[in-house]
Amino acid sequence: MKESLETLREEIVARVGRYVNKEEIDQLRAEYLGRKGKLTLMLRGLKEIPAEERPLIGDQLNRLRHYLEEEIETKLKDIRLQEKGQLLREERIDISLPGSRLERGSIHPLTLVMDEIIDVFLGMGFEIARGPDIEDDYHNFEALNIPKDHPARDMQDTFFVSDGRLLRTHTSPVQIRVMESRQPPLQIIAPGAVYRHDDDATHSPIFHQVEGFMVDHHITFKDLKGVLTHFLRQIFQEETRVRFRPSFFPFTEPSAEVDIECLFCNGTDRPSDQGACRVCKGSGWLEILGAGMIDPEVFHIVGYNSEKVSGFAFGLGVERIAMLKFGIEDIRQFFQNDIRFLRQFR
Amino acid sequence: MKLTINWLKELVNLPAGLKGDGEEGPHAIAKTLTMAGIEVESLRPFYQDPGVVVGLVTEVRPHPRADRLSLAVVNIGDEKLSVVCGAPNVRVGIKSPLAKAGTALPSGAIVKATSIRGESSDGMLCSERELDLSQNHEGIMILPDDAPLGQPVFSHLGLNDWLLEVGVTPNRGDCLGVLGLARELAALTGGSLRRPPSSHPGKVSKVKQLSLLPDVKVEIQDSRLCPRYSARMVSDLRPGPSPAWMRFRLEACGVRSINSVVDVTNYVMLETGQPLHAFDLDQLKAKRIVIRPAGDTKRFVALDGTERELAREDLLICDGDVPVALAGIMGGLNSEVGPTTTSVLLESANFDALTIRRTAKRLDLHSEASHRFERGVDPEGTLAALDRAVFLLREISNGQPVKGVIDRYPCRKRPSPIQIRDQKVKDILGIELSRKEIERILKSLGVKVQARSKRGIKALPPSYRPDLSREADMIEELARLHGYEKIPATLPLIRAQGGTVDPYLRWGRGLRNFLIGEGLTEVINLPFTSREMNQHFQGLWDDQRAPVSVLNPLKQEDSEMRLSLMPALVANLRSHIDQRVRSYSRFELGKVFCLNPDGSTDENTYLAAILHGQREQRGLRTGEMAFSFLSLKGLAEGILEVFGVESRTVWTSDDIPPFLHHGKAASLKWDGLKMGSLGEIHPDICEELGLPAFLTLELDFGKLVQYARIEFKVRVLPRFPSVERDLAIVVEEAFPSQRIINWIKGLGHSIIEDVQIFDQYRGSPIPEGKKSMAYSISYRASDRTLTDDEVNSIHHDLTSKMCQEFEATLRE
């Protein structure tokens, strides 16, 4: 018995080291540990050996069994690890294939720019007011110090609807509507659509404006310059140069036209028509908005005392800013809604 | 308004920086004007100078071998050149522009020394067309006798010049003349004004209220309409072509050259801003000028040969009873100055701006004169303009001034003094201007300081600045002349006002972000549409509403304001279908308009969307998702969820607008009020519009914003598990699936947590005309784990009751 145990041990040790694949190991396990395995049979035969030898041989057999079981387990673990490693090395996806998803739509460029403008003003503490697109002559013209038969009306070709009403030619009537119903301090913007009887590459019969105004004690032209310069530098670039020059609007006095340096030639101010920048036509500047100190006549019309309050107002064209920001040359593109155009703003 | 730099420089002495003849001077002038509020819209060289010189023709003989050519000898001072010339008007003694060999003409051709049929030619005598000065090619250009031999022609004619176009704002009528701009430049730069030469009428002008011309009388019927009427007479005229310098200036400024007399009136108007008119004196039979409203005079034939119908209030200039001019707008054909005219009555008057404007606008007859009168002409300037015109007529048209002047001035307005308070200047501009600076600016503008006090000064504006009537106007002038760029930029000190959230902005942003996530692209359309489209798509208004008409549409098909966003979205769809796109999903958030029965108008904001084709996907093509009613409904549910109004919104098949397929559409209501509609477009409309089927949705954004829910109610999360049971029943084809859900929920069973429909099936073994609907019910108790027995018993009870209630059979 002792000898055969010794032979078996040597046999097992020799074979365990040799086998590498799962089938061989399974075979090994069956051969020794299976129901009719050599080790199993020997363990079963223990009761036939003398009682005094039994504990020693039993112990040795059990140790051999544990040894074999452990070896087999280790081998199998190695094999599984190898197989997994093999699999991981072989599994490959073409990551250059397109991702699979539903297509997103896009927001209209005018909405994008409008939102940006609004956010800058909200950040400065302005509040939003809105007014009707169909206006009466009083709010669109007369209350803004543009009497009937005044040549200033030629500046704004008007669409008329029934009953003497019209499509507002600017967002300024909201200024009047707000001042009619509220008292200063006021710090308001009024975004919206406006209408002009006009249609070509630089004029659309409808476009969008943001009107803004601020009224309180001691609001001055300095403040107008400060607020608008800050706004333009937020919308364009922090270092953008801004220029204020005199102009005329019946509802502001003094009035100003506000220019920014040309974004396309960086305001190089080239003197000649030859080779001059196409966008600023060589002036080096781009007209961007109109503004001014609210005319005392307008305050008088809405019942404010112009000796006690002062304020400024401005109006800016959203399309104009969008065209400059995005390099769009024809204003009509905004309203043709060609998907190839719109998709560029996704 | 257009003018030239040289013309301007004739009238004002400019400081060194602005004087230069190169590029810098004109650009400095342009910049100065722009920065003072007179925007220079363009600046370009007047004419391109090819370098031709003044030549004197000293000999002419026929070309021996060509009938139509002549051989001329041309003296250009230091040499004599032989020139072959084909012009019929070449003759000894004339001066003409000579292009020497090597000169590049504006056409690009280069003049060469050559031989024409055996005769050598060293240069070329040029026509106006060859120099690109006019279209005249009838002969060589003839220069004035005093043109200096051998000198450059263009500089002699004043053609080395710059053309300036300025945009004059409506308040600055005084700048609609070169003189006004010169005055402005003088004020801005400290330069001095130079009056152009003129011819005074002589001593008799002292007595101004009388007509001193023995045979012409002037009668003003309403002095409000014609505050002043001045006139002079010139005889012995020989109207012919004007000299080149004047013609070129006029034409560059956009005024057609007619003859020397008419040209002078136009020239003086461009120069002084005072419109003039010349009547042929021999055609004024009555010799009695009456300025009156048209009244019963119904018709008038103006210089342009068109007969126009008059309104009673149109102002006329009449000779006795015969209308000879539409005051301030255009002269009459009957008294026009022509080639045979020898004497003229020159009118220099002042008319009421409103009257002129109304007439010009009504007749759509706008002239250089009416443009100026509408914006206000200085009544003090009539005589100076007359004297300037008389001078020029004598110079260029052989005119003999008749002594004396007519000057009726019944309505003289004197400017009122204006108070300028130091404190107010500071309140508006935010800076303190010294009295010295204020007075310097006022003086430069011709404003006279009348009185000075501690608080401020009292000043009198000049007659040519009627726009200066209030303190605010004066403060603007102070800021303008001081320079806007010298006023610092600061951020204001304003009292805080609280502020509110704009619901349209807030919900609009949320909605847009949801929709683009769902694959829709935003469009913005013009709100105009046609009557036909408004009839098809009437929006969500009630039946009493009509569309708002545009009285002056740009196009007939844009003659109404849209009732609905659909027309333009449909037009967008059409243009994309023409481009063969497979997928189309767009939305618009915009205003719609309607007219109420009482004549008032309403506007509202709608959201509309169109879906057509497939849902667009990225990546490998693994199954397409065609848009269906359910995708549209899903979109609508998502929108309602964005606003938190999904639970209170009622879906119904009533009230479906006629443009939708009634079997495949739904309406949305809130408290019985129309909030939206959606569905497949009606096949008849598709057929009429020539479009394939598509899905549309239109919602009342205004109402959504109004009902939007801002708060969320949070429930405690359940502690015990739920048990799911499915059931399928067979019902009639037309049975609305939602009824089962409502019924189960209506039972109010505390352990029924949720019911969902998850499948719909038609076909074998389900009989024809029936369908199988599958529902999943979720049971849950809040205080214990439900046992199977408990759930089975409730579920069994529920299904049998349901089958009874709806006469449905359970599908095993």
pLDDT of residue B310: 94
A337 and B572: CB-CB below 8 Å?
Answer: yes
Q: Are A216 and B601 within 8 A, CB to CB?
A: no
B482, closest residue in chain A (CA to CA): A246
pLDDT of residue B208: 40
Give residue B181's pLDDT band: very low, low, confident or very high (50, 70, 90): very high
* Residue B205 in this model has a pLDDT that exceeds 50: no
Using an 8 Å CB-CB cutoff, list chain A residues near B429: 220-222, 254
Q: Does A120 touch chain B (CB under 8 A)?
A: no
Does pLDDT of B304 surpass 70?
yes
Q: Report the residue of chain B nearest A231, measured CA to CA.
A: B491
Partners of A161 on chain B (C-beta within 8 Å) are 548-551, 561, 601
Interface contact A105-B44, CB threshold 8 A = no
Nearest to A221 among B23, B34, B487 (CB): B487
Residue A81 contacts B, CB cutoff 8 Å:
no
Partner-chain contact B490 A225, CB within 8 Å:
yes
Answer whether B548 sits within 8 Å of A134, measured CB to CB. yes
Residues of B in contact with A274 (CB under 8 A): none
Helices B260-272 and B368-375 sit at what angle, rounded to 10 degrees?
A: 30
Return d(Cα A44, Cα A58) in angstroms, integer: 10
Per residue in B108-146, pLDDT (tens digit) is 888 888 888 888 888 999 998 888 887 788 889 988 888
Q: Which of B354, B576, B619 sits opposite A100 (nearest CB)?
A: B619
Report angle CA B381, B382, B387 to the nearest 5 degrees: 100
- CB contacts < 8 Å between A and B, how many? 245
Question: Can you tell me the mean pLDDT for B299-303?
Answer: 92
Contact A271 B24 (CB under 8 A): yes
Does the pLDDT of residue B214 top 70, yes or no? no
What is the per-residue pLDDT for A269? 52
B487 token code pair: 């006023």
The least confident of B57-71, B434-448, B515-529 is B57-71
Q: What is the mean pLDDT of residues B497-518?
A: 93
Please give the single-letter amino acid code of residue A271: P
Pair of tokens at residue B644: 């938190």
Instruction: Evaluate if residue B498 carries a pLDDT over 60.
Output: yes
pLDDT band (50, 70, 90) for residue B105:
confident
A103 against B20, higher pLDDT: A103
Do A247 and B169 lie within an 8 Å CB cutoff? yes
Identify the pLDDT of residue A271. Answer: 46
The CA distance from B434 to the nearest CA of chain A, in Å, is 17
Helix (H) or strand (E) holding A110: helix A109-123
* For the ranges B370-374, B492-496, B539-543, B615-619, the one whose mean pLDDT is highest: B370-374
Closest alpha carbon within chain B to A188 = B499
Mean pLDDT to the nearest integer, A242-254: 95
The tens digit of pLDDT for each residue in A189-229 reads: 999 999 999 877 778 899 999 999 999 999 999 999 999 99
- The answer to whether the CB atoms of A255 and B476 lie below 8 A apart is yes
Amino acid at B167: G
| Residues A271-293: tens digit of each pLDDT | 444 566 777 777 788 889 999 99
pLDDT of B810:
87
Considering only CB atoms, A226 lies closest to which of B489, B591, B615, namely: B489
Q: Name the residue with higher pLDDT: B747 or B180.
A: B180
User: What percent of chain A shows pLDDT beyond 70?
Assistant: 96
Taking only residues 564 to 583 of chain B, the set having a beta carbon closer than 8 angstroms to any beta carbon of chain A reads 572, 575-576, 581, 583
Separation in Å, CA of A84 to nearest CA in chain B: 30
CB pair distance less than 8 Å for A245 and B479: no
At residue B384, the pLDDT reads 94
Tell me whether B351 touches chain A (CB under 8 Å): no
Select the residue of B27, B591, B599 nearest A163 (Cβ to Cβ).
B599
Return the pLDDT at B233: 92
> From the CA of A148, how many Å to the nearest CA of chain B?
9
Instruction: Provide the mean pLDDT of chain B.
Output: 91
Q: Contact B524/A110, CB-based, under 8 Å?
A: yes
CB-based contact A100 B622, cutoff 8 Å? yes
Which residue, B45, B6, B1, B48, is CA-closest to B255? B1
Contacts with B317 (C-beta within 8 Å, 6 or more apart), sequence order: B277, B289, B290, B291, B323, B324, B325, B326, B327, B347
**pLDDT score of A314:** 97
Helix A22-33 vs helix A54-90: crossing angle, to nearest 10:
160
What per-residue confidence (pLDDT) applies to A147? 87
Sequential DSSP letters for A258-272: EEEE-TTTTT----S
A115 to B35: CB separation less than 8 angstroms, yes or no = no
Question: B120: which strand partners?
Answer: B115
Find all residues with CB under 8 Å of B91, minimum gap 6, and list them: B57, B60
User: 156-175 in B: which are within 8 Å (CB) of A?
Assistant: 169-172
Cα–Cα distance for residue pair B373/B466, rounded to 1 Å: 13
pLDDT at B209: 37
* Distances in whole angstroms, Cα of residue B794 to Cα of each of B727, B787, B803: 13, 11, 14
Q: Could you tell me the pLDDT band of residue A230, with boundaries at 50, 70 and 90?
A: very high
Q: B543-566: per-residue pLDDT in tens? A: 778 999 999 999 989 999 999 999
Residue of B nearest to A186 (CA): B497
CB distance from B604 to chain A under 8 Å? Answer: no
Q: What is the pLDDT of residue B156?
A: 82
- Listed in sequence order, the DSSP H helices in B762-787 are none
Give the gap in angstroms from C-alpha A217 to the nearest C-alpha of chain B. Answer: 8
Cβ-defined contact of A134 to B493 (cutoff 8 Å): no
CA angle, B134 as apex, B128 and B135 as ends, to 5°? 95
> Which one of B42, B43, B618 has the shortest CB-CB distance to A98?
B618
Interface test with A, best of B481, B521, B575 (most A CBs within 10 A): B521
Window 372-411 of B, Cβ < 8 Å to A: 374-375
Min distance A263 CA to chain B CA atoms (Å): 19
Query: Is B524 within 8 Å of A216 when comparing Cβ atoms?
Result: no
Q: Is A247 on the interface with B (CB under 8 A)?
A: yes
> Each residue of B693-728: pLDDT tens digit?
999 999 999 999 999 987 788 888 999 999 999 999
A254 touches B at CB < 8 Å = yes
Is B24's Cβ below 8 Å from some Cβ in A? yes
Shortest Cα distance, chain A CAs vs residue B559, angstroms = 10
For residue A63, with 0-12 CB atoms within 10 Å meaning exposed, 13-18 middle and 19 or more buried, which class applies? Answer: exposed
Q: Pick the most confident of A145-149, B261-265, B614-618.
A: B261-265
Cα–Cα nearest to A288, from A310, A317, A313 = A317
Segment among A37-46, A175-184, A300-309, B470-479 with least mean pLDDT: A37-46
- Best of B550, B574, B614, B620 to disrupt the A interface by mutation (most A CBs within 10 Å)? B550
Average pLDDT over residues B293-311: 92
Computed over every residue of chain A, the mean pLDDT equals: 89
Q: Which of B35, B358, B491 sits opposite A149 (nearest CB)?
A: B358
Q: How far is A92 from chain B (nearest CA, A)?
A: 18
Element (DSSP H or E) covering residue B53: strand B53-62
Spell out the alpha helix ranges (H) of B643-682. Answer: none
- Summarised one tens digit per residue, pLDDT across range A120-171 is 999 999 999 999 999 999 999 999 999 887 777 776 789 999 888 999 999 9
Chain A CB contacts of B587 under 8 Å are 105
pLDDT digits (tens, 9 = 90+) for B353-390: 999 999 999 999 999 999 999 999 999 999 999 999 99
Q: Do B519 and A103 touch (CB under 8 A)?
A: yes
Residue A149's region, left for phi above 0, alpha for psi from -120 to 50, else beta, is left
Which pLDDT score, from 0 to 100, does residue B206 have? 41
Contact B534, B547 (CB under 8 A): yes
> What percentage of chain B exceeds 70 in pLDDT?
98
Structure tokens at A250: 């019946």
Q: Are B773 and B729 in contact (CB under 8 A)?
A: yes
